[in-house]
Amino acid sequence: MEDGWLTVKEGAIKWRLLFASLKDNNSFEELKNSADSISKMISKAKASETGAEIYVQGAPLYSLAAGSQARKDLSKLGMLSLIALTLLLLIAYRSIRPLFLCLLSIAVGLVFGLTAVTLFFGHLHAITLVMCISIIGLCTDYTAYFIAARMAAPEEENSQKTLDLLRPTLLHALLTTVLTYSMLLFSPFPSLKELAIFTIFGLAGACLTVLFWFPQLTEHIRYHNSPLAPLTKKYIRFWYPNSPIGKIILCSILVFCAVGLSRLQVSDDLRQLYQAPKALVENEAQIQKILDRDFSQDSILLESDSEEKLLEGLARLRSRLAQDSKLETIGAFIPPLLPEKLQDQAANAAREAVPIVKEALENLNIRLNGHPGYSSLSFKDFLNSPIGENYRSLFLEKDGRYYYSIPIGTSEIPKSILQDLPVKVTFENKRTQIQTMMAQYRVQIGWLLVCAFAAIVLSIKWKFGTRVAVLSAFSLILSSIAGAAALGFFGMPFNVFSTFALILILGIGIDYQIFFLRLSKTRKNSLFALFVAAVSTILSLGILGLSETAAVRNFGITLTFGVLTAFLTSPISLLLNHEKIRRL
């Protein structure tokens, strides 16, 4: 402290620390206004004080940067997704009516999703909204199935009859996708929980639009010859038993998986989930250099069941640290406040000294009209004072326990200094703790994924037999491996976001499996509908891979390559049924 300022001296240079607090739950616009005000004050200060250097750091600045990046992603990726979807539908159906029907189901889905998230959470993270772009492709699936069915329907069949035939398939697709996304509710990330609610209700809204509105809107739709239809037939022929192309596709995917996995790294480092703007990183580096502190370094956590014991432990620790010149600076993080018991002893000693001091002053012809009063100062009152404000962020009271965190940087604290303290002492590193938690979530979600996979395979075995279940399981496993392997090619780590993406790959992949296993019971044009639906889904997911937010990009890349592989390998189950494949 110097002249009322927290001060750091670096040779002839003197740095002063200023602290600012913003009110809780700031909106994006309020954060932006605050940041603009700070920038103006910095510019004004530099203009009035030649040679002044000012560095700024704070969580609100990172929140503002993340929100700004998410808004840019939303406008850019959302526009790309709509353009790609529009071109796909125009090429596939050669008619503008299917495009409007798709946009209708997407719009209703977005309204349902936004309303649900607002009701459940009261707000929507910007990053969540970026990831929700993926719903555009999923909402298109129901429209693609229904329109394809109407195009292939006989003249005498009305749209309501078509819906009656298609309703079980649509509801089955909705149920499996909703169940898959509901697993995201187990995520520790609020953004993924919001994504789950958004998608569940959004897909429900899109499906309800098809079920209740499309019979009236599609009565006069008739078949249009699509340039994409021959591609679907050719692709199925690749899986004829005597065709080598299917085997080449499988071998290529296996090589891709092997090479990608050899490059893949598993990492739960938070810094790889978000890349902060260069200016903020440079500011933080300068502040760390000035303070000689890395804000992610180790700290000592003191825990007690009373404020008095906590103060006593802090006082003892401070006196011990002061005896070592190398550790003396760490004591600056400990408040200069004695326990109330020692404060009372000091106050009593001062009261006893009053008569002696009064007599001594009278001998010097100085008359003492009164004497000062003394009272103890509680820890909370100290923290609420102007001096205590500097230590407030290091103190926490929770569930009847009292905690105080002391940053120690890279210093090694001898065990003797921490012995015989009346408090519980532990070493901690916030970043390490969070990374450990992320790793635990990744493992737990991995086991959940295994259980879901086992349940799916058993259901296929019960319905279609053991041989079909084995091939379907192979396709699903290969899809998950391909999603993870893609991260290796792009130099991105496998983390908890990747694990949640694998769950979605499993949910979407099983839809493709069920479709091909029931292909003999569906109309010829249904294969074309699946092709359009799959391409729209892959496009909307692939666009997430263009995001500048690392976590969203990781999520999108894993999903894209996993779902693509699931679609490419889903006809593998037909290899066991030559009769079924000859009908295609």
Between 298 and 15, name the one with better pLDDT: 15
Distance CA 439, CA 267 (A): 8
Other Cβ atoms closer than 10 A to 67: 18
Q: Which of 294, 280, 273 is nearest to 554 (CA)?
A: 273
Residue 243 sits in the same domain as residue 329: no
As a whole number, mean pLDDT of residues 104-118 equals 89
- Tokens describing residue 119: 């009701």
183 falls within a domain: yes
Between 191 and 574, name the one with better pLDDT: 191
Q: Which of 39, 52, 62, 35 is nearest to 280 (CA)?
A: 62
pLDDT at residue 583, rounded to an integer: 47
CB-based contact 503:180 (threshold 8 Å)? yes
Q: Which of 21, 65, 20, 64 is nearest to 42 (CA)?
A: 20
* 578 pLDDT tier (thresholds 50, 70, 90): very low
Domains contained in the chain, number: 2
Under 8 Å CB-to-CB from 270, ≥6 apart: which residues? 431, 434, 435, 438
pLDDT in tens, 314-351: 888 888 888 877 777 788 888 888 888 888 888 888 88
31 falls within a domain: no
42 falls within a domain: no
pLDDT at residue 550, rounded to an integer: 81
Residue 413 sits in the same domain as residue 527: no
pLDDT in tens, 51-90: 788 888 888 888 788 778 777 877 787 788 778 888 887 7
Tell me the pTM. Answer: 0.74
Distance CA 322, CA 461 (A): 71
Residue 403 sits in the same domain as residue 447: no
Residue 88 sits in the same domain as residue 128: yes
* 295 pLDDT tier (thresholds 50, 70, 90): low
pLDDT at residue 483, rounded to an integer: 92
Residue 141 sits in the same domain as residue 243: yes
350 falls within a domain: no
Give the domain extent around 324.
Answer: 297-337+397-428
Residue 93 sits in the same domain as residue 225: yes
pLDDT in tens, 139-187: 777 887 787 777 767 777 778 887 887 787 788 778 877 877 787 787 7
* 582 pLDDT tier (thresholds 50, 70, 90): very low
Residue 265 sits in the same domain as residue 301: no
Distance CA 512, CA 566 (A): 7
Q: Which backbone phi and psi does 7 adopt, to 5 degrees?
A: -125, 140
69 falls within a domain: yes
Specify the CATH number for the domain of residue 494: 1.20.1640.10
First to last CA, the chain: 83
143 falls within a domain: yes
As a whole number, mean pLDDT of residues 238-242 equals 72
Q: Which backbone phi and psi does 39 adopt, to 5 degrees?
A: -60, -40
Under 8 Å CB-to-CB from 100, ≥6 apart: which residues? none
Residue 329 sits in the same domain as residue 252: no
As a whole number, mean pLDDT of residues 460-473 equals 80
pLDDT in tens, 397-455: 888 899 998 888 777 788 788 888 888 988 887 777 777 887 888 888 888 788 878 88
Whether the pLDDT of residue 581 is over 50: the answer is no
As a whole number, mean pLDDT of residues 466-494 equals 88
Distance CA 114, CA 111 (A): 5
Residue 173 sits in the same domain as residue 233: yes
pLDDT at residue 59, rounded to an integer: 80
Residue 452 sits in the same domain as residue 510: yes
Q: Which backbone phi and psi does 476 adopt, to 5 degrees?
A: -65, -40
Residue 263 sits in the same domain as residue 314: no
Between 195 and 583, name the one with better pLDDT: 195
Residue 234 sits in the same domain as residue 102: yes
Whether the pLDDT of residue 458 is over 90: the answer is no
343 falls within a domain: no
End residue of a domain, out of 406, 428, 450: 428
384 falls within a domain: no
